[in-house]
Amino acid sequence: MKQISTEELNEECKRHICLRTDNIQKTTLLLEQKGKINNYSVYPDNSIRIYECLENVRMISKLLSSNGVIIDEISVQGENLETYFENLIGGRKNV
């Protein structure tokens, strides 16, 4: 059984832009200095979760690619509590 804190659960369900690039340091520098984006977290799997500008995925993509950063993944993610638990137990089953 997986145990997580309320804070971890909120973090898992929070809507965000999930971003993976070839250069984390350059990416975060560009996000802060040119994109004026400061509300993000870097995870041990080298993914970045951006919690602001969710409607500006194209702007972020253009900013990074025009500055030589290769984008491996960029998508808006996050789910409601019900979907989180359904996925945790193996998804919704047909009855």
Domain tally, the chain: 1
Averaged pLDDT, 56-63: 96
Averaged pLDDT, 42-56: 93
pTM: 0.71
Residue 94, amino acid: N
Averaged pLDDT, 77-87: 64
In a domain, 39, yes or no: yes
Averaged pLDDT, 18-25: 97
Q: How many helices (H) and strands (E) does the chain have?
A: 4, 4
For residue 3, name the pLDDT band (cuts at 50, 70, 90).
Answer: confident
For residue 14, name the pLDDT band (cuts at 50, 70, 90).
Answer: confident
Range of the domain at 38: 31-87
The sign of the torsion formed by the CA atoms of 68, 69, 74, 78 equals negative
pLDDT in tens, 28-46: 999 999 999 999 999 999 9
In a domain, 7, yes or no: no
